[in-house]
Amino acid sequence: MLFQCLLKSVVRKGTLKLTTADGKTSVFGDGALQRIAIKLHRKSLEWSLGLYPDLKIGEAYTDGTLTIEEGDLYGFLFMLLSNYAETGDKSPFHWHEHLSPLIGKLGGFNPIRRARRNAAFHYDMPDQLYRFFLDPDRQYSCGYFTDIDNSLDQAQLDKKRHIASKLLLNRSGLKVLDIGSGWGGLGLYLAREAECRVKGITLSFNQYKISRDRAAVEGLGKSCDFALRDYRQEKDAYDRIVSVGMFEHVGKKNYDDYFAQIRRLLKPDGVCLIHSIGRFGEPRPVSAFIRKHIFPGADIPTLPEALKAAERAGLFVTDVEILRLHYAETLKRWIESLHLHRGEIINLFGDTLYRKWEFYFIGCEVSFRLGALMVFQMQLSKQLDALPLTRDYMHDWEQAHQAEGSLDHYVEDIAAVGAALRE
């Protein structure tokens, strides 16, 4: 049927065995030792998986109507996506990508009310879920691995340090805006390490409440404030602006307005750092499964799209760094934690939610491993001379804030704050 035809056109390397609901088997690939076997438990999947694989494979795995009989989910998705990467546009696997210009126009509508609803859909999940896989500081974005063997805690601390180094924190009292401030970890870090006056804004009520509580417990309530606010509602002027993992939710239609707002909020000698997931190659729509079940309204920019929009807004792009496999390593550690706490997650939230998040994390890790996705950090300014001539200031700041043995104390302090909040 249709799904079998699709697999035949895509799977050229490795060995994939398919068993349909009526017990019929088919084998695809070159017979190599990498063997994956899947089973369909519903007859209709033979058509729906072929018509819309980008959505229906994830949904079938989530509801248990597609199971992995040999191998594992990582191996299955790696086989599909690595083969698809080699077939490129000749493959029907993502046939709907030809509609990407239309999808971008229809999906780019993102008024404040919708943006808040989209944020709540994901970030206002029960708090316990995030504690099962995130580091104690709740960094829900790409870590920075100075060593491939570093722990998640170390990578997330190094990420905050690396981002801070690009903000030119050359004096105390700098006024900083953190757009999409999450659970407050980065803002609190900047307030502690650089004596900044931080305003963090988020659209998630849970993140807002936890961030304010953390600031109070840590005695940083006067220097680090948080608000439940959209970036378009902000009016003040700032010395520095930072945004981590938020640009992916802006939508292509709104890129020009987003960077125009950044320019309005920056003081004349201000500096901005945008940290975002990006896509290599041509613009393409976000996975239909992720847009429907994980991040409604999500959009992954290409670097040229972001660069052109920033320049159209009158901003100078003063530095760009591509983090290639750092998010793959971050996801690998989140997946390990997810698997470690499988029983607890299923007991609290059910098997369906567990499989949905497993599919989401593993699909993302494979995409980063195969070069479809990356992370970019883009530094912006309004004035060409707002920053030093060389990047030495970044290295100097990181070195000055990398005290030996600091990780253990840092994790202990964060854990103590978390325990105090739960009491």
Residues tagged active-site: 364
Q: Helix crossing, 152-165 with 326-340: angle to 10°? A: 150
Query: Largest alpha-carbon pair distance within the chain?
Result: 70
Is there a contact between 201 and 185 (Cβ–Cβ < 8 Å)?
no
How far out from the chain centre does Cα 223 lie?
Answer: 28
* Rounded Cα gap, residues 35 and 420, in angstroms: 49
At 248, list the tokens: 């992916």
Query: Smallest Cα–Cα separation from 187: which of 158, 165, 213, 220?
Result: 220
Is there a contact between 21 and 60 (Cβ–Cβ < 8 Å)?
no
Query: Smallest Cα–Cα separation from 200: which of 233, 229, 177?
Result: 177
* Rounded Cα gap, residues 10 and 4, in angstroms: 10
- Using DSSP, how many helices (H) and how many strands (E) does the chain show? 18, 11
DSSP three-state, residue 29: strand
One-letter amino acid of 263: R
Counting Cβ atoms within 10 Å, is residue 77 exposed (0-12), middle (13-18) or buried (19+)?
Answer: buried
